Amino acid sequence: MKLASPDRPLIMRGVERTSLGRFLLWLVPWLALLAFGLYGAYLCLALGLNQTNLDNRFAFGLWIFLDLAVIALGAGAFFTGFLLYILRREELADLINSAVVVGFVCYSGAVVILMIDVGQPLRAWFTFWHPNVHSMLTEVTFCITCYLLVLFIEYIPIVLRNRRLRRIPAFLVFEFNLHKVMVVFAAVGTFLSFFHQGSLGGLYGVLQGRPFAFREGFAIWPTTFFLFILSAIAVGPAFLMLVTRLAEALTRKRLVHPRVYTLLGRISGWLLVSYVLLKSVDTLIWLNRTAPAVGFLGHDFYVHAAFGTWILFAEIVLFGLAPALMLLIPRVRQGRWAIVAALLACFGIALNRFVMTIQTLSLPSLPFDKLLLYWPSWQEMASFLAVIAYAVILFSLSYRYLPLYPRERELQADRDPDSVAPRAASRTTLAVGGAGAGTLPTSRR
Amino acid sequence: MSTGWRRRDFLTVFGGGMAGIALSPLPWKLLDDAAIWTQNWSWLPRLPRGEISTRYGRCTICPAGCGLRADIVNGQAFRLTGLPNDPIGGGTLCPLGIAGHHLRYHPARLRGPVEGGRIEEGGTGRDADARSLPLDEAIARLAGWINELQDVGASQTIAILDARPGRLLSEIYRRFSASLGAHYIPARTGGFSSDVLHAMGSAPLPTLGIDLAGIRTLLSFGAPVLDDWGAPSCANQFDRYAGSAGEGTTSSAALLIQVETRPSATAQRAGLWLRNAPGSECALALGLAHVIVHEGLYDRTGTAGQLLDGDGDARPSSGDPLNQGAAVGSSALCGYRELLAHYPPEQTAQLTGISSATIRDVARRFATAGPAVAIPGQDPGGGPLDPQAQQAIWNLNLLTGALDRRRGFVSRRALPLPQRLADAPGGAVTSLSHVPDGSLRMLIVDGALPDHALPWELLTRKLARHGARLVSLSPFRSGLARHAALRIPAPAPLEFWEEVPTPWDAPTATLAIAAPLAEPPRGALHPSALLERIAKLLGMPSPGGDADYLMLLRERAAAVFLTARGHVHRGRDGRRVPLDDYDSAEAFWQELAAGGCWIDDADKTVARLGPARRAFLDPSQPTSWDQGIASAPSAAGYPLTLMPFGPRSMAGEEALPPVMAKLYRESHLRSSPEDVHVHPETARRAGVEDGLPAWVETPAGKRRFQVQTDPAVHPAVIHIATGPAPASFGDLPQEEYPAVLELLSPNEKGVWRMTPARLRPVEC
Amino acid sequence: MSRNTTHRVRYGMAIDIDRCTGCGACMVACAVENNVSVPPPPAGDRKGLTWIRVYRLHNERPYPESRTAYLPLLCQHCGHHTPCVSVCPQHATDIDPETGIVSQIPERCLGCRYCMAACPYHARYFTWWDPVWPAGMEEIFNPDVSPRMRGVVEKCNFCHGRRQVALQRAAAEGRRQIRDDEYRPACLEACPVGAIHFGNLDDPKQELYDLVHGERAFRLLERLGTEPKIYYLSSQPWVRRLLHNGIPASRRHPDGGRPDVAALRHQQVLARDPRAEERRRS
C-alpha cells in the first residue's frame, strides 16, 4: 500500500508516511494561519504596538502570558535531556528527539513573539552591551538566547539524520562528533534552563511595587524563582506526553513504548505533588506575611469578581493537586485518564502564568485605582496563532522527514509491547540515530 | 565552465563566505547602524536651534488677557508662562494659555479664505469639501452679497455677531453696522443679562463691576467662581481674596456660598454648597429675601431702607439720573412684599429642596456678615439663568446694600475712545433674543474664540428659512465656521495686535495690549481691515476712521494717557508704576506693548449706585412669578431634567491646542462631552450602568452617551458637558460626537439650562 | 567647567492636595515643556502620554457629604530599591546619585515595558504611536528636550532639561552650583494655586523641608519601602484615609517583624467607610 510519493527519497526507510498530497493538504490550513499571523505581526512592527490592546497599565499581555506558558511547557526538552543523558533514564531515548523539537519550536516561537512585543526590536542586543545584572530580565535574555542556541545545536544532528542528508559524508562525520558531545550540551542546556525558568518566575517575584506578585525568597531569588523551575519540570513531561499521544492519534501509529508514558506520568506526578505542596506553603506565607508587610491584605487581592478566590482554588487544587494525585495512582496513570491528568496539569501551569502576568497587572496598586481588564486585539492573537502554526508545521515536517521517534519502525513491526527489544537495543537505536541505520555500523562506541 | 564548478565547490565557497562574513565586523556594524537608525528616525522632528530671548505679552485666547512671558527661539515663542503679580492672571496661565502658541498650528487652521463645504450642504466643514479663493475675491464676494441686500433695502437683515464685546474692534463693528443699518449683536458676558439690567431702571445703568476686596460673603447662584482657572472675571479670583476654600480649611474671614444643582468644582470647594432643585434659583432668592425682610435684616440706611421703611417715595428725585425710578411708588413695593409672602422658608424649602433652617441661616449670614454680594451664574455651557431669577438675585443685593457702597457692585468709568472714533460713536446694540425669528439673511460671525457655548438652534431660529448666509471670520474651520458659506480667517490669537477688554465685573477700567508673537499667514486678514476694505468697496464711511487697527490701539492708549489716572502693572517685573511716571504717551504705549496692564483709579464720585426702584418688582407681570421655579417645558414621559454645563472657552466646538487632549482624552480629569453624569440611584432606576453607553432622549432627539455615576449629582437631574468636542483637539470628523447642544431647545429668552429628558439603556 | 560632584542634593516635591483645584495646568505645561506628543484619539486614557496625571478623588458619599479632591501623580523618583531601575535589563533608566532624579534614556530603551509593570504608581508611559505633531509645529519645540521615538518608555524627569540649562547658565557666570530658584519644574511654574513645592529634601533651610516633615505630609504606598520623593499634603481626613497606607516605619518590611494585620484591616475598613469608626464607638 506504499504510495509513490515524490518525496519518498527524503523519508526514513521502513516507516510509513502519508502521501505528499495529503501531507500538503494537512499543511495548508496551518500555512494560511501562519500567513494571517505574519500579517498581524507585520502590522505591529510597521505601525507600532498601538495595533495591540496593550496599554500603559497592561504593559504585558497575551504575548508575555503565552510566552511564559509556552516556555514552561517546552521545559520537557531540557528535562528529558537531563533525565536521559545525566540520570540515564534510557526509556526516554524513545522520545528525546521529539522532545528537542518540541523545545525548539516552543523557545524559538517565544523569542519571535518577544521580538514583536518589544517596542524597539532592533535594539534588543543592547541588553548584551549594557546589561543590568540586577535585572531578572537580563538573566532571562542571556539564558534564553544561549539555550535557544543549545536547542539549535541539539536539533542539528536530528536534521542531519535525514535519509538524504546522511549521504553526505561530511555531515555524517559532523553529526557523529556532535553526538559525542551531546551530553555536554544537555548539561549546559539543563543549567541554562533551570536558570531562565527560575528567572521568568523571578521576573514577577521581585516586583516590590506589585504586592500581588512580590515574594520573599532566598538570597536574590524570590520563591517564585524556585516554584517556576519546579512547575516547569513537573509539567514538561506531561506536555511531552500529550504531544506524543496527539501525534500517535493523528498518525494512528504507536510511536513510543507505553512504558515511556508511565515513566513520564510518574515523574510528572511526583514533581507536581511537591510543587503543589510548596506553592501552598508559599501562598500562605505571602498572604499572611509578605503582602501585609507592604500594606495589602490577601483579601484585597480577591475582592474583584473577575478574580475571586476561585482562581486560587483552581490554580492550586483543581489544576494542581487533582492531576498530581491522578498521576500518582498507577491505574490512572496507565489508563486513558492519564491524558486528562496531563491536560489538567498543563492547564494549571498556564493558569499559574496567567495569574502571575495578567492578574498582577489587572489589580490596582494605588488606593484610588480600580481593577482594569484587557482583551487582546486580533493582531495579538493572530501573531500568536502564527507561532502555533509555525510549531505545527515544523513538527509535522520533522516528523515526516526526520527520525523523531527512533523506535517507530520497531514498534510498527511488532505491535506487541511485551516483545520490545531489550534496553541495550534501544540504546543502540538511539546511538545510530534512528531506525533506518542499516547501512551504517550498528555501534559507534 | 561547468566542469570546474561543481555544486560541492559552490557550497564550500558559500559556506566559507558566510562564516567569513559572520566573523568579520560587518554584521556588528549593521547591527549597530540599525540601532542608531532607530534613534534618529527621519520622521522625528528636529529641534529648533538658536539664541533664546524673552518677550512679554498678553494671551488673547479668552477675554481675560492674562500677562505672559514668552521664551523665543528663532523668532518663535516656544514657552509661555505667566507674569508674576499680573493683576489679571495672577502670575500663571491657564492650560489654554500655556499651550496658546500651539493653537496656530491646529489642523483646522485656515490659511486663507474658503468658500462652501458647510455642514448644511453635506460637507464636514473641512477643507476637502471647500474651495479656497484669493483674499481679494473673497472680499469682493462678501461686499457683493452685502450690496445685493442693500439694493433691495434689506440692510436690517444683516447682523454682526461680536464674540468678545468691549474691544476697539467691537466699536468698529458697531460703526460699520450703524452706517449699514445692520444689527450689531454682542455675545453675552458674565453677570446680569443686559435685558435684566435694562428692566432694573428706567435710565440706563452705568457699567457695573464688583469690588470683591474685603467681601466677607459671596453668594453665588451657579457662577463658576472657583472652577477651572482664575480668569477671566474678577469674581473668579475670589479664592485669591478669600483664601483656600476646601473642607477643613475654610477661612473664617470669607465665605463662598454656592447655590448650584451640579456638583461643580466650585460647589465642591465652596465653604457652603446648597444643592438646589433644578431651576429653583429664583425661589431660593425670594425665600432668602423673605427672611431678610421679615426679620428686618435689610440695609435700613440705604436704598432698601428708604423703599421698604419709607412710604416709597421718601426721597424725591434729585436730578440724579439713577434715582429716576423712584417715581414708581408704593404699589411696586406692595407687590414685592406680596410676592415675598408666598416664599416663607417652609414653602421655599419645598421648592428648592434646601431645608428651611438652612435658608434662614444663609439669609441671616448674607444680611449680617457683610459686606456681602450675590451674583448670578452663567455656566459657560449651561447658559444664563432665566431673567426672573436674575431679578430676584439683583433684589438681594439691593436689600443688603451691595448696590450702595464700595465692597459690592460699583460703577466704573468706561475706557476712553480714540479721538477719531469718539466723535461719531457706534450704533445701537441688539441682543440676540430681540432679533425677530427668521429675519436674518446674512450673519457675520466674529473670529475670536467664544468663551460661552451658543446652541446652533438659537442662531438658525433667527436666520431666514432660505438663502441665509453665514460668514465666519474665525481663523479655524471649527465651531460656527463649519456652517459658514464663506470664511475669511482672521489672524489666530498671538498673531496680531489685540486689545484685552476690561473684565465684565472689574471694579475699575483696565487696558492691556497683546503684541503679536508670530506672523499671521498671508491669507489671514484682521476683521478691522476687512470691514475697512468692504466699506471702501461699498462707498461707506470708514468704520475705523481711516486708521488701521494698530494706530487706533495706540490712540486709545494715548487717550488713556491723557486721563492721567491709575497705574501700570509692569510686565517684566510686576511692579506698580503710577501713570504720571511716564513722560509720554509713547512710553506708556511701549509699556503696554511689553505686557503692561493699566488699571484705572476707583471712581469715587459714583460710588453710590442709588435706588433703581423698579428693580423690586414690575407689578405689570405679577403672574409670571407664580411658581418661582423656572421649570423646563414639561413633557410627559421625560422624568429627568438635562442640565448641560461646560468649561470656559471650551464649551463649544472651537479649535483648541491639541495638547489639551491630555485633560480630556488621555485622562478623566475633566468631563468629556461624551459622558452623562447621573446619580447611581437614577441610573439603577433607568436600568443603565456605570461606564456603559445609554441613550439620552429629549423632545429634540436622542444621543448615545457613556454613563458616569456620581453620588453627588441631584437624583432628578442628568448633566452633560457641552464641550470641548473631540474634534477640537485635531482634525476629526464631527459625526463621532454626540453633541448635547443639539438635544436642547432654548426658549425665547435664550435660556437653555434645563431640558426634560430620560435615560434608556442601549440594547445589545 | 566641571560640576561640583561633592555637592549632592535630593530633589523632591510636596504637593498640597487641599489646594489643588484640578485645573490641569500642570499636565499641559508638562506636555508643552517636554515636547510630549498627543497620540491619536484611540489612545484614550490607557495609551496616553501624561508624565504628570491629575486623578480625581471622590469620597463616594452623596450630597451634602460628597467631597472631591485632586491628586497630581508623577514619577515618584523612588530612592530605595527603585522598582523600575532595578528591573531595566539595559540601564535605560537610572537614578542619578547626584540629584536623586530617576532618568530615562529613550535612545537606549528597547521598549520591553518591564519597568512599567514594576512601577506601582503607573507613572511610566509607552509611546504606542509614532509621535506626530501638526505640520510646522516643530519650530516651536522646546529646544532643550529631544522628542522620543515610537516604541520606548518615557516619564517625568523633574524637567531635567531645565536643570541642564540652569547649570550651563551658572557655569557661564562662573558659579559651581545653581541657586534654588533657578531650577523649577514646569508643573510647579504653571500651578495657579501654588500647590506644588520643589526643592532639596535634605536642605533644612528650605520651606520644602518643613512641609515634608510636617504632620500633613504623607507619601503614596509608603509601605512598599521604595522611599518615594514626592510627598503629598492634606488635612482632610477622608483624603488621608483614602491615600495614606502608611504604617509606622518600625513595622515596615523588612526591618520589622510580623505586621499588625488587625490594625491594617481596621485602617482599610475605615478608608472604605468613614462612618465605621463612629458606629463602633456608639
Residue of C nearest to A126 (CA): C90
Q: What is this model's ipTM?
A: 0.89
Residues C215-231: what's their mean pLDDT? 91
Which of B371, B374, B393, B392 has the alpha carbon at shortest distance from B299?
Answer: B371
pLDDT at B159 over 60: yes
pLDDT given for residue B247 in this prediction:
39
Residue A391 forms part of a structural domain: no
Domain holding B355, by residue range, is: 212-407+610-616
pLDDT at C129 over 70: yes
CA–CA gap between residue B711 and residue C58 (Å, rounded): 10
The percentage of residues in chain C with a pLDDT greater than 70, rounded to a whole number, is 84
CA–CA gap between residue C216 and residue A197 (Å, rounded): 46
Q: Which of helix, strand or coil describes residue A286?
A: helix
pLDDT given for residue B193 in this prediction:
79
CA–CA gap between residue B578 and residue B595 (Å, rounded): 16
Residues C228 and C270 in one domain: no
Q: Which residues pair with B444 in a beta bridge?
A: B160, B471
Distance from CA of A123 to the nearest CA of B (A): 5
Which chains border A (3 or more CB–CB pairs < 8 Å)? B, C
Distances (CA, A) of B7 to A160, A170, B21, B41, B517: 19, 14, 21, 43, 73
Residue C98 forms part of a structural domain: yes
Count of CB atoms situated within 10 Å of the CB of A401: 19
In this complex, do C120 and A138 lie within 8 Å of one another by their Cβ atoms?
no
In this complex, do A125 and B38 lie within 8 Å of one another by their Cβ atoms?
no
Residue of C nearest to B262 (CA): C63
Distance from CA of C65 to the nearest CA of B (A): 8
Residue C122 forms part of a structural domain: yes
Residue B205 forms part of a structural domain: no
pLDDT at C138 over 50: yes
* Total number of domains constituting chain B: 3
Domain holding A245, by residue range, is: 60-379
Residues C224 and C271 in one domain: no
The percentage of residues in chain B with a pLDDT greater than 90, rounded to a whole number, is 40
CATH number at A286 reads: 1.20.1630.10
pLDDT tens-digit map of C155-166 = 999 999 999 999
More confident residue, B199 or C1: B199
Distance from CA of B472 to the nearest CA of C (A): 23
Count of CB atoms situated within 10 Å of the CB of B176: 27
pLDDT at C1 over 60: no
In this complex, do B38 and A122 lie within 8 Å of one another by their Cβ atoms?
yes
Count of CB atoms situated within 10 Å of the CB of B140: 16
Asked whether the CA dihedral B622, B623, B629, B633 is positive or negative, the reply is negative
Which of B182, B202, B200 has the alpha carbon at shortest distance from B191?
Answer: B200
The mean pLDDT value of chain C amounts to: 85
Residues C127 and C20 in one domain: yes
CATH number at B685 reads: 2.40.40.20
**A47, A123, A171, A174: best mutation site toward chain B, by most B Cβ within 10 Å?**
A123
Residue B441 forms part of a structural domain: no
pLDDT at B62 over 80: yes
Residues C160 and C262 in one domain: no
Longest dimension (CA), chain A: 74
Q: What is the dihedral of CA A43, A44, A47, A51, to 10 degrees?
A: 100
Residue B285 forms part of a structural domain: yes
CA–CA gap between residue B276 and residue B753 (Å, rounded): 14
CA–CA gap between residue B462 and residue B455 (Å, rounded): 12
Nearest to C89 among A132, A368, A369 (CB): A132
With a CB cutoff of 8 Å and minimum separation 6, the contacts of B593 are: B513, B515
Size of interface A-B (CB pairs under 8 A): 10
With a CB cutoff of 8 Å and minimum separation 6, the contacts of A343 are: A242, A323
Phi, psi of C100 (to 5 degrees): 80, 5
Most confident of A153-162, A349-358, B240-249, B503-512: A349-358
Residue C126 forms part of a structural domain: yes
pLDDT given for residue B274 in this prediction:
94
Which range has the worst mean pLDDT, B6-10, B375-379, B750-754, C260-264? C260-264
Residues A352-364: what's their mean pLDDT? 93
Which of B99, B371, B108 has the alpha carbon at shortest distance from B229?
Answer: B99
B507 prior amide bond cis, ω within 30: no
- Residue carrying the nine cell digits 559524508: A169
**C70, C245, C253: best mutation site toward chain A, by most A Cβ within 10 Å?**
C253
Residues C192 and C275 in one domain: no
Range B414-444 burial, b when 16+ CB lie within 10 A, else e: ebbbbeebeeeebbebbebbebeeeebbbbb
Residues C270 and C218 in one domain: no
Cα B77 from chain centre? 25
CA–CA gap between residue C226 and residue B274 (Å, rounded): 43
CA–CA gap between residue A20 and residue A7 (Å, rounded): 7
In this complex, do C66 and B263 lie within 8 Å of one another by their Cβ atoms?
yes
pLDDT given for residue B245 in this prediction:
39
Q: For residue B611, give the C-alpha cell.
A: 435706588
Among A residues 35-54, those touching chain C with beta carbons less than 8 Å apart? 48-50, 54
With a CB cutoff of 8 Å and minimum separation 6, the contacts of B665 are: B672, B726, B729, C41, C43, C44, C45, C48
Residue C241 forms part of a structural domain: no
Query: E strands of B538-590, at which residues?
Result: 567-569, 576-578
Asked if A426 and A407 count as a contact pair (C-beta separation under 8 A), the reply is yes
Residue B131 forms part of a structural domain: no
* Total number of domains constituting chain A: 1
The mean pLDDT value of chain A amounts to: 86
* Total number of domains constituting chain C: 2
Which range has the worst mean pLDDT, B159-163, B318-322, C2-6? B318-322
pLDDT at A423 over 80: no
In this complex, do C235 and B78 lie within 8 Å of one another by their Cβ atoms?
no
Residue C3 forms part of a structural domain: no
Helix (H) or strand (E) holding A274: helix A258-285
Residues in chain C within 8 Å Cβ distance of B728: none
Which of B552, B560, B549 has the alpha carbon at shortest distance from B585?
Answer: B560
pLDDT tens-digit map of B342-369 = 889 999 999 899 999 999 999 999 999 8
Q: Which residues pair with B57 in a beta bridge?
A: B68
- Residue carrying the nine cell digits 566573523: B23
Residue C76 forms part of a structural domain: yes
Residues B251-275: what's their mean pLDDT? 85
Which range has the worst mean pLDDT, A175-179, B229-233, C46-50? B229-233
CATH number at B322 reads: 3.40.228.10
Residue B217 forms part of a structural domain: yes
Nearest to B105 among C48, C62, C134 (CB): C134
Residues C230 and C281 in one domain: no
Residues C171 and C218 in one domain: yes
CATH number at C205 reads: 3.30.70.20
Residue C240 forms part of a structural domain: no
pLDDT band (50, 70, 90) for residue B631: low
Cα B131 from chain centre? 31
Residue A249 forms part of a structural domain: yes
Which of the listed residues B616, B646, B669 is the one where a domain comes to its end?
B616
End-to-end CA distance of chain A: 38
Q: What would the DSSP string read from start to end of B719-758? A: EEE----GGGGS---GGG---GGGG----TTS--S-EEEE
Residues A39-46: what's their mean pLDDT? 95
Helix (H) or strand (E) holding B221: strand B217-221
pLDDT given for residue B605 in this prediction:
52
Q: For residue B485, give the C-alpha cell.
A: 458659506
CA–CA gap between residue B464 and residue B107 (Å, rounded): 32
Residues C143 and C262 in one domain: no
pLDDT at B158 over 90: yes
pLDDT band (50, 70, 90) for residue B474: very high
Distance from CA of C62 to the nearest CA of B (A): 5
Domain holding C273, by residue range, is: 247-282
With a CB cutoff of 8 Å and minimum separation 6, the contacts of B135 are: B112, B113, B488, B523, B525
Residue A234 forms part of a structural domain: yes
Residues A418-445: what's their mean pLDDT? 38
Residues B466-491: what's their mean pLDDT? 90
Residues C136 and C268 in one domain: no
Residue B100 forms part of a structural domain: no
